[in-house]
């Protein structure tokens, strides 16, 4: 029981962080061009 | 260019790039003088394409940034300055065709991100609550269980408010109009389940339904998002194709100055200057100049007409080779184009009356669910007198009976089907079009641009001396006339250097090569006294005569044959001359043809067929087909169709082959079969689960298991659509996906 006291908040925190990351990536337009993102990795920076 | 040499046909179809004025008008202001122009570039498809286009813009002065969006086949260019940099010219140097894009279309879709956020929140909450529930199911101590229930409640509450809103709002608006929809039992079930679980948790009870309530929302939101993504994707892809109505026109004022005005400011009586290659924005009467015009999009007529002062022209006509001035006889708002739109709206009957399968199911289903839950509650109330127990059982019934399976059954199949159609080069606007497509029994075709390519090709090439053909090709490459474009394919390169080229609208092209004067054009002009249609002459002596025909679209005969073999009634409805329509009908083995039909007559034909119980599919491309496209049960247009035609059609096919039609019908029918299977699965699951629920035997564990299992079953069944092989008729399907040889590059004047 005592381990749960910190394990559960930790689990929720990690889950919440993942949710936050997803919402952030959605907002910053990272899903706008899925195909392009996959292809751009092949391009050299100039 | 490597693999990505794009098709030149789209670029050749338009006269040339839009003017700088038009680009400026279509761009939008970002901030501090920075402007953005959006183009659609249908030809991009790999990293090489991105690098080529973005690289070309790096050297253009005035351009801040150019970025290709590969998924949307779109290019956005940010630039500074009074006038736009040479955007189109830059794209063209890379070999891609580009089309201007409406700025209002470029906005991001707020509804989709709202749905995705709601899905993400529901997903997060349901996963964490499930995690806690598993330990409760595996026998947690009462104390731990109590704590876990409270944590679940804290997680479920915000998720319910945030993600549930989508359903609550829809359910509320349905109830207010006195209807009931799928959202009503979902909302009632979820809210009641949450409220009772909260009460039980406070009272220290053993069972809570937080997990069921939230995961129900999660599964249903997945279905919603899929449905939405599919619709948006098709819409934006259709939009990004060629745009045929101009945004404005050049007005010539009394003092001789010219100004480019947006469509809304063009008024009746204005004098407009129409350059070669421009499309008319409004109806008008030619005031000065001579030219040949292409009316194929307006009337369905395939041959070009020559016009001079006094000729009346309709909006949408393409001016081919001479500069014209035109007195506008209408505004943009009441031109024949606008009338067509009004006719379309009036004709749009069959579609708005159609109810989607899911809606029909919901209408039957939700009263049953409500009544079952109500009677269960009353039954237990009478039997035991324990209101708490009775409500628990009734909620279990609600949750079990509005399974995610029903919410997912249709959208998941349609998403997979749309994906398969996309791979076959067909865009579908929404799921309802797929359902309607599966029902049809009659296919009506327009001729010009649908059964035929709408472009002329040389019919007697083998009978003409190659040297004469090469000369004709070299001359034709400098002209914009449809006949010239067919001949330009025979231009063999740089050997011939025509000089002093003069295009005489209505007659032909004249030029000098070496010491000789050549004329290519109308026979009596090139060679006095000749009668054949088009001739090439040297110093007045005939060299060759050419016969042209509007060639059939690729695989037209095979497609018609496939449709007939599958028992569809096939007919042609065209606005063109009777002779040409009959000839095409004869070539394709279509007995039922009608020619010289006006748009309203086409609609009347469809209405008459519909009145006899036929489900009609209309395939057409012209403006004159648009009302018929919206009147039909379901409609399809090639991507070369005008804006209005594409908007009116439910499906748009992007490849030249007409096999898209039997393929689309095939996929739609398979999808309809799978939707029915999915309904049978979902309802069969209910038939098994409801007795347990009514008997009060469903624990939260059982509810969660049943719900997930049925959803997975439905999704797995839908994915089978990917695996079902195309029929043998569609063996051309594989060939369709192979890289195609490039169409002959067509020169422009």
**Token pair recorded at residue B257:** 């100055």
**B448: which DSSP letter?**
I
- Inter-chain residue contact B120 with A42, CB threshold 8 Å: no
In the predicted model, what is the mean pLDDT of chain A? 84
Taking CA atoms, what residue in B is nearest to A12? B128
Of B625, B654, B683, the domain-final residue: B654
Phi-psi region of B588 (alpha: psi -120 to 50; beta: other; left: phi over 0): alpha
Structural domain count of chain A: 1
Residue A19 within a domain: yes
Same domain, B537 and B560: no
Active site residue B446: yes
Residue B243 has pLDDT above 60, yes or no: no
Most A CBs within 10 Å: which of B2, B42, B50, B154, as the mutation test of the A interface?
Answer: B50
Average pLDDT over residues B651-668: 88
Same domain, B440 and B466: no
Q: What are the phi and psi torsion angles at B85 (to 5°)? A: -65, 170
Residue B344 within a domain: no
Same domain, B595 and B608: yes
Average pLDDT over residues B342-361: 64
Where do we find the tokens 């298991």? B705
Residue B733 within a domain: no
Q: What pLDDT is recorded for position B627?
A: 82
Taking CA atoms, what residue in B is nearest to A44? B51
Residue B282 has pLDDT above 90, yes or no: no
For B194-217, how does the pLDDT look when each residue is reduced to its tens digit (9 = 90+)? 998 898 898 887 778 888 889 888
Q: CA of A27: how far to CAs of B116, B172, B385, B619, B648, in Å? A: 11, 29, 52, 40, 33
CATH code at B464? 3.40.1110.10
Contact in structure between B295 and B307 (CB atoms under 8 Å): no
Sorted by sequence, the CB contacts under 8 Å of residue B20 that are 6+ apart come out as B83, B84
Contact in structure between B585 and B593 (CB atoms under 8 Å): yes
Q: Do the bridges between strand B99-100 and strand B34-40 make them parallel or antiparallel, or are there none, so unpaired? A: antiparallel
Banded pLDDT at B559 (limits 50, 70, 90): very high
Among B24-28, B89-93, B534-538, B727-731, the minimum mean pLDDT is found in B727-731
Average pLDDT over residues B244-270: 78
Higher pLDDT among residues B77 and B239, named by residue = B77
CATH code at B99? 3.30.70.100
DSSP B585-608: HHHHT---EE-S--HHHHHHHHHH
- Inter-chain residue contact B47 with A40, CB threshold 8 Å: yes
Sorted by sequence, the CB contacts under 8 Å of residue B360 that are 6+ apart come out as none
Residue B586 within a domain: yes
Q: Percentages helix, strand, coil for chain A, rounded to the nearest 5?
A: 70, 0, 30
How many Cβ atoms sit within 10 Å of the Cβ of residue B596?
Answer: 14
**B403: which DSSP letter?**
-
Sorted by sequence, the CB contacts under 8 Å of residue B525 that are 6+ apart come out as B504, B507, B508, B519
Contact in structure between B161 and B125 (CB atoms under 8 Å): no
Domain that includes residue A27, residue range: 2-40
Q: Tell me the C-alpha distance between B447 and B470, whole Å.
A: 31
Same domain, B612 and B675: no
- Inter-chain residue contact A36 with B116, CB threshold 8 Å: no
Of A19, A27, A40, which has the smallest distance from its Cβ to B124's Cβ? A19
In the predicted model, what is the mean pLDDT of chain B? 79
Q: What pLDDT is recorded for position B618?
A: 92
Residue B7 has pLDDT above 60, yes or no: no
Q: Tell me the C-alpha distance between B668 and B655, whole Å.
A: 18
Q: What are the phi and psi torsion angles at B28 (to 5°)? A: -130, 150
From first CA to last CA, the distance across chain B in angstroms is 24
Residue A26 within a domain: yes
Residue B13 has pLDDT above 50, yes or no: no
Average pLDDT over residues B42-53: 82
Q: Tell me the C-alpha distance between B259 and B732, whole Å.
A: 51
Banded pLDDT at B313 (limits 50, 70, 90): confident
Residue B125 has pLDDT above 90, yes or no: yes
Same domain, B649 and B559: yes
Of B594, B622, B654, the domain-final residue: B654
Same domain, B574 and B694: no
Structural domain count of chain B: 5
For B108-123, how does the pLDDT look when each residue is reduced to its tens digit (9 = 90+)? 567 778 888 999 999 9
Same domain, B225 and B117: yes
Residue A46 within a domain: no
For B446-492, how does the pLDDT look when each residue is reduced to its tens digit (9 = 90+)? 888 888 887 777 777 778 888 888 888 888 877 777 777 778 777 76
- All residues of chain A having their beta carbon less than 8 Å from the beta carbon of residue B131 are 11
Residue A33 within a domain: yes
Taking CA atoms, what residue in B is nearest to A35? B71
Same domain, B226 and B137: yes
Residue B654 has pLDDT above 70, yes or no: yes
Same domain, B631 and B535: no
Residue A23 within a domain: yes
Residue A30 within a domain: yes
Same domain, B449 and B577: yes
Q: Tell me the C-alpha distance between B109 and B35, whole Å.
A: 21
Q: What are the phi and psi torsion angles at B161 (to 5°)? A: -65, -45
Higher pLDDT among residues B733 and B538, named by residue = B538
Residue B698 has pLDDT above 50, yes or no: yes
B161-168 CB contacts, 8 Å cutoff, 24+ apart: B162/B117, B162/B118, B162/B121, B163/B118, B163/B119, B163/B121, B163/B122, B163/B125, B163/B217, B163/B218, B163/B221, B164/B190, B164/B191, B164/B217, B165/B118, B166/B114, B166/B115, B166/B118, B166/B221, B166/B224, B167/B217, B167/B220
Higher pLDDT among residues B164 and B725, named by residue = B164
Residue B671 has pLDDT above 60, yes or no: yes
CATH code at B262? 2.70.150.10
For B365-406, how does the pLDDT look when each residue is reduced to its tens digit (9 = 90+)? 777 877 888 899 899 989 888 888 888 888 888 777 765 667
Residue A45 within a domain: no
Domain that includes residue B570, residue range: 426-454+553-654
- All residues of chain B having their beta carbon less than 8 Å from the beta carbon of residue A19 are 120-121, 124
For B136-170, how does the pLDDT look when each residue is reduced to its tens digit (9 = 90+)? 888 878 888 888 999 999 999 999 999 999 889 98
Of B511, B546, B581, the domain-final residue: B546
**Token pair recorded at residue B577:** 């001359």
Q: Do the bridges between strand B318-319 and strand B291-294 make them parallel or antiparallel, or are there none, so unpaired? A: antiparallel
Q: What pLDDT is recorded for position B665?
A: 93
A interface toward B at CB cutoff 8 Å? 1, 4, 8, 11-12, 15-16, 18-19, 22-23, 26-27, 29, 31-36, 39-43, 46
Banded pLDDT at B84 (limits 50, 70, 90): confident
Same domain, B182 and B116: yes
- Inter-chain residue contact A33 with B70, CB threshold 8 Å: yes
Same domain, B590 and B601: yes
Q: What pLDDT is recorded for position B154?
A: 92
Residue B591 has pLDDT above 90, yes or no: no
Banded pLDDT at B748 (limits 50, 70, 90): very low
Q: Complex ipTM, two decimals?
A: 0.85
Q: What pLDDT is recorded for position B727?
A: 41
Q: Helix (H, G, I), strand (E, B), or coil: what is residue B484?
A: helix
DSSP B229-245: HHHHHHHHHHHTS---S
């Amino acid at each position: 029981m005592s381990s749960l006291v910190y394990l559960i908040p930790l689990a929720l925190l990690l889950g919440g962080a993942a949710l936050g990351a997803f919402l952030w990536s959605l907002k910053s337009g990272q899903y706008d061009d899925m195909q392009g993102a996959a292809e751009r990795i092949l391009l050299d920076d100039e | 260019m490597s693999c990505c040499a794009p098709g030149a046909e789209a670029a050749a179809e338009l006269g040339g790039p839009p003017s700088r004025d038009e680009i400026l008008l279509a761009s939008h202001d970002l901030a501090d003088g920075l402007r953005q122009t959006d183009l659609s570039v249908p030809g991009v498809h790999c990293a090489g394409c991105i690098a080529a286009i973005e690289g070309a813009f790096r050297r253009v002065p005035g351009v801040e940034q150019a970025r290709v969006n590969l998924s949307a086949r779109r290019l956005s260019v940010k630039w500074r300055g009074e006038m736009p940099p040479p955007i189109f010219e830059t794209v063209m140097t890379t070999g891609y065709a580009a089309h201007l894009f409406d700025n209002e279309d470029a906005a991001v879709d707020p509804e989709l991100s709202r749905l995705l956020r709601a899905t993400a929140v529901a997903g997060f909450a349901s996963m964490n609550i499930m995690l806690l529930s598993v330990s409760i199911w595996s026998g947690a101590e009462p104390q731990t269980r109590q704590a876990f229930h409270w944590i679940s409640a804290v997680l479920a509450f915000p998720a319910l408010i945030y993600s549930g809103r989508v359903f609550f709002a829809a359910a509320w608006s349905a109830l207010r109009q006195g209807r009931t929809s799928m959202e009503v039992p979902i909302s009632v079930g979820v809210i009641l389940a949450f409220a009772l679980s909260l009460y039980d948790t406070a009272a220290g009870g053993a069972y809570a339904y937080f997990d069921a309530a939230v995961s129900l929302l999660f599964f249903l939101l997945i279905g919603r998002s899929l449905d939405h993504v599919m619709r948006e994707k098709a819409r934006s892809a259709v939009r990004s194709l060629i745009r045929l109505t101009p945004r404005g026109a050049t007005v010539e004022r009394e003092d001789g100055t010219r100004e480019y005005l947006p469509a809304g400011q063009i008024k009746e009586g204005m004098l407009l200057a129409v350059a070669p290659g421009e499309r008319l924005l409004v109806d008008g009467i030619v005031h000065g100049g001579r030219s040949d015009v292409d009316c194929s999009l307006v009337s369905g007529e395939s041959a070009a007409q020559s016009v001079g002062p006094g000729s009346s022209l309709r909006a949408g006509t393409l001016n081919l080779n001479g500069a014209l001035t035109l007195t506008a006889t209408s505004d943009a708002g009441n031109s024949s184009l606008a009338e067509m739109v009004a006719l379309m709206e009036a004709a749009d009957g069959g579609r708005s009356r159609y109810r989607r399968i899911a809606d029909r199911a919901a209408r039957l289903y939700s009263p049953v669910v409500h009544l079952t839950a109500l009677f269960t509650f009353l039954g237990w109330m009478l039997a035991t007198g324990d209101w708490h127990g009775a409500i628990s059982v009734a909620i279990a019934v609600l949750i079990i009976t509005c399974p995610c399976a029903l919410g997912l059954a249709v959208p998941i199949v349609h998403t997979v089907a749309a994906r398969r159609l996309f791979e076959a080069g067909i865009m579908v606007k929404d799921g309802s079009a797929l359902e309607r497509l599966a029902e049809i029994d009659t296919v009506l075709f327009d001729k010009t641009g649908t059964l035929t390519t709408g472009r002329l090709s040389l019919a007697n090439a083998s009978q003409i001396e190659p040297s004469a053909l090469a000369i004709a090709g070299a001359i034709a490459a400098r002209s914009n006339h449809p006949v010239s474009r067919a001949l330009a394919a025979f231009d063999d390169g740089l050997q011939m250097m025509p000089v002093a080229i003069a295009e005489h609208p209505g007659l032909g092209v004249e030029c000098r090569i070496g010491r000789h004067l050549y004329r290519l054009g109308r026979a009596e002009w090139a060679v006095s006294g000749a009668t054949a249609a088009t001739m090439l002459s040297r110093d007045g002596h005939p060299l060759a005569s050419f016969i042209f025909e509007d060639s059939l679209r690729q695989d037209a005969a095979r497609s018609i044959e496939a449709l007939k073999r599958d028992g569809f009634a096939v007919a042609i409805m065209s606005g063109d001359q009777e002779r040409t329509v009959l000839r095409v009908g004869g070539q394709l083995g279509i007995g039922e043809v009608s020619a010289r039909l006006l748009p309203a007559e086409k609609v009347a034909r469809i209405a008459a067929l519909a009145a006899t119980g036929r489900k009609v599919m209309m395939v057409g491309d012209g403006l004159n087909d648009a009302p018929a496209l919206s009147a039909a049960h379901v409609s399809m247009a090639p991507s070369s169709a005008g804006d209005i035609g594409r908007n009116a059609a439910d499906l748009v096919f992007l490849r030249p082959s007409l096999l898209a039609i039997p393929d689309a019908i095939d996929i739609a029918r398979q999808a309809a079969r799978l939707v029915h299977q999915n309904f049978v699965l979902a309802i069969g699951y209910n038939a098994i689960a409801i007795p347990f629920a009514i008997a009060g035997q469903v624990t939260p564990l059982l509810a969660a298991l049943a719900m997930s299992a049925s959803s997975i079953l439905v999704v797995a069944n839908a994915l089978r659509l990917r695996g079902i092989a195309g029929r043998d008729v569609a063996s051309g399907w594989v060939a369709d996906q192979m890289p195609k040889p490039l169409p002959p590059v067509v020169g422009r004047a």
